[in-house]
Amino acid sequence: QVQVVESGGGSVQAGGSLRLSCTVSGSTPSDYAMGWFRQTPGNEREGISCMTWKGDTVLYYADSVNGRFTVSRGNAKNTLYLQMNNLKPEDTATYYCATDTGGYDLFCGRLATEYTYWGQGTQVTVSS
SS3 of the chain: the string is CEEEEEECCEEEECCCCEEEEEEEEECCCCCCCEEEEEECCCCCCEEEEEECCCCCCEEEECCCCCCCEEEEECCCCCEEEEEECCCCHHHCEEEEEEECCCCCCCCCCCCHHHCCEECCCEEEEEEC
Q: Per-residue pLDDT tens for 59-99? A: 999 999 999 999 999 988 999 999 999 999 999 999 999 99
Q: What average pLDDT does range 19-28 have in this prediction?
A: 95
Percent of the chain with pLDDT over 70: 100
Residue 16 CA to residue 105 CA, distance in Å, equals 34
Q: Tell me, what's the pLDDT at 28?
A: 87
In sequence order, the β-bridge partners of residue 26 are 2
CB atoms within 10 A of CB 109: 17
